[in-house]
């Protein structure tokens, strides 16, 4: 989306009375306890940002990074923010582990930085190109997605089990050992005899996110967490801490922008009712709603 659209919406919200304070980290610059004392209602919309790790030998080698470390730095560099020691794909063989939106962003960014090769690995089965019969419209189908980033190049491999990162003498990653995946007792395991090495100077782990960050909360402000690692909320988006509401990925888990927008609106209606006793604001979705077919 063009930045001008975002800027015009921000201006509109500012003129309506919203105060934006960028560069303030709650839990560090202001404690959650102080925030709660200062405001009658709080909406926690901090996203689902704790990355899922890949605990295989060699994980600590130089050149193995979480996708977001790489993408955030790359964005700052494009914005001209002067990044020191930027992680870059320029002149490198790049492996991206994970076949979702984050992986796709890594593929596109690596190509634009001048990667020598980009290989994308996904552990699951390659989906078909057509909508399966058991997922008719409007269900969300499992299909082979070709995003604009995929059109920029690279190879995609499915049923790929990562076994080990291999090092050069300088402690840098030089390759990833992978195997085909087979199912044993319902579990995905590397198939013996199929191991091979893929050269890599940069490996980006884009295997999803396990939930919102929680370290900054104090005991009295920490909302309870579900068994899936997100903040628990009731059908009015209120968490287990009175007056503290949760919207977007922080409550839903890693999801999509459309859900975050809809949840933000619905949570605003709940906060309005909490403060005023009634509301005329629309509530497009409930926290328990899911996409048809999931
Ligand atoms: C790389 C990547 C690519 C994606 N691609 C797509 C896509 O193509 N299509 C799609 O629909 N979705 C995509 N998503 C998912 C989408 O970005 C999220 O579902 C959506 O942004 C969630 O919105 P949110 O407001 O809940 O959280 P976020 O957008 O994650 O926003 C959370 C905000 O809270 C701030 N924050 C966190 N903790 C604190 C704190 N303690 N103090 C102050 N601020 C804090 C963060 O800095 C951030 O600005 C992608 C996600 C990623 C990571």
> Looking at the domain assignment, is residue 290 inside a domain?
no
> Looking at the domain assignment, is residue 267 inside a domain?
yes
168 lies in the same domain as 233: no
Higher pLDDT, 166 or 2: 166
pLDDT digits (tens, 9 = 90+) for 50-74: 999 999 999 999 999 999 999 999 9
Residue 271 has pLDDT above 80, yes or no: yes
Instruction: Write the residue with the smallest CA distance to atom 26 of ligand 1.
Output: 248
**What range does the domain containing 226 cover?**
3-49+210-276
Instruction: Write the residue with the smallest CA distance to atom 1 of ligand 1.
Output: 102
Instruction: Write the residue with the smallest CA distance to atom 49 of ligand 1.
Output: 46
Contacts of 2 (CB under 8 A, 6+ apart): none
Q: What is the CATH number of the domain that holds 198?
A: 3.50.50.60
What pairs with residue 196 in β-bridges? Answer: 178
> Looking at the domain assignment, is residue 291 inside a domain?
no
58 lies in the same domain as 190: yes
What pairs with residue 278 in β-bridges? Answer: none
202 lies in the same domain as 220: no
Q: Which of 45, 46, 74, 108 to mutate to test the pocket of ligand 1 (most atoms within 8 A of CB)?
A: 46
> Looking at the domain assignment, is residue 288 inside a domain?
no
Q: How far is CA 97 from the centre of its chain?
A: 14
> Looking at the domain assignment, is residue 285 inside a domain?
no
Residue 113 has pLDDT above 90, yes or no: yes
pLDDT digits (tens, 9 = 90+) for 24-41: 999 999 999 999 999 999
What is the total count of domains within the chain?
2
pLDDT digits (tens, 9 = 90+) for 7-19: 999 999 999 999 9
> Looking at the domain assignment, is residue 286 inside a domain?
no
> Looking at the domain assignment, is residue 218 inside a domain?
yes
Atom of ligand 1 nearest to the CA of 46: 34
Q: Of 185, 207, 229, which closes a domain?
A: 207
pLDDT digits (tens, 9 = 90+) for 172-210: 999 999 999 999 998 889 999 999 999 999 999 999 999
- Report how far residue 101's alpha carbon sits from residue 108's, in angstroms, rounded to the nearest whole number: 11
Instruction: Write the residue with the smallest CA distance to atom 47 of ligand 1.
Output: 46
Output the ligand 1 site: residues, CB below 6 A: 25-27, 45-47, 71, 101-102, 105, 213, 216, 248-250, 255-257, 260
Instruction: Write the residue with the smallest CA distance to atom 10 of ligand 1.
Output: 256
> Looking at the domain assignment, is residue 284 inside a domain?
no
203 lies in the same domain as 57: yes
């Amino acid at each position: 989306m063009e930045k001008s659209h975002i800027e015009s919406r921000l201006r509109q919200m500012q003129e309506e009375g919203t105060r934006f304070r960028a560069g303030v980290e709650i839990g560090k610059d202001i404690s959650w306890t102080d925030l709660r004392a200062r405001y009658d209602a709080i909406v926690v919309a901090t996203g689902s940002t704790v990355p899922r790790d890949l605990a295989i030998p060699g994980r600590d080698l130089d050149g193995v990074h979480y996708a977001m470390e790489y993408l955030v730095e790359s964005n700052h560099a494009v914005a001209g923010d002067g990044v020191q020691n930027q992680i870059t794909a320029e002149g490198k063989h790049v492996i991206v582990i994970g076949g979702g939106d984050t992986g796709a962003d890594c593929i596109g960014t690596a190509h634009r930085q001048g990667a020598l090769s980009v290989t994308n690995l996904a552990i699951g089965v390659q989906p078909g190109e057509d909508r399966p019969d058991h997922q008719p419209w409007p269900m969300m189908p499992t299909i082979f997605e070709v995003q604009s980033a995929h059109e920029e190049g690279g190879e995609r491999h499915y049923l790929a089990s990562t076994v080990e990162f291999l090092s050069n003498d300088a402690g840098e990653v030089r390759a990833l050992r992978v195997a085909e995946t087979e199912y044993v007792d319902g579990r995905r395991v590397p198939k013996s005899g199929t191991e091979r090495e893929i050269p890599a100077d940069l490996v980006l782990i884009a295997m999803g996110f396990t939930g919102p960050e929680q370290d900054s909360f104090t005991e009295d402000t920490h909302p309870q967490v579900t068994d899936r690692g997100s903040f628990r909320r009731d059908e009015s988006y209120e968490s287990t801490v009175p007056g503290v509401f949760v919207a977007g990925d922080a409550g839903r888990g890693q999801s999509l922008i459309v859900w975050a927008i809809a949840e933000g609106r619905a949570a605003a209606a709940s906060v309005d009712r909490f403060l005023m006793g009634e509301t005329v604001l629309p509530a497009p979705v409930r926290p328990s709603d899911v996409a048809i077919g999931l």
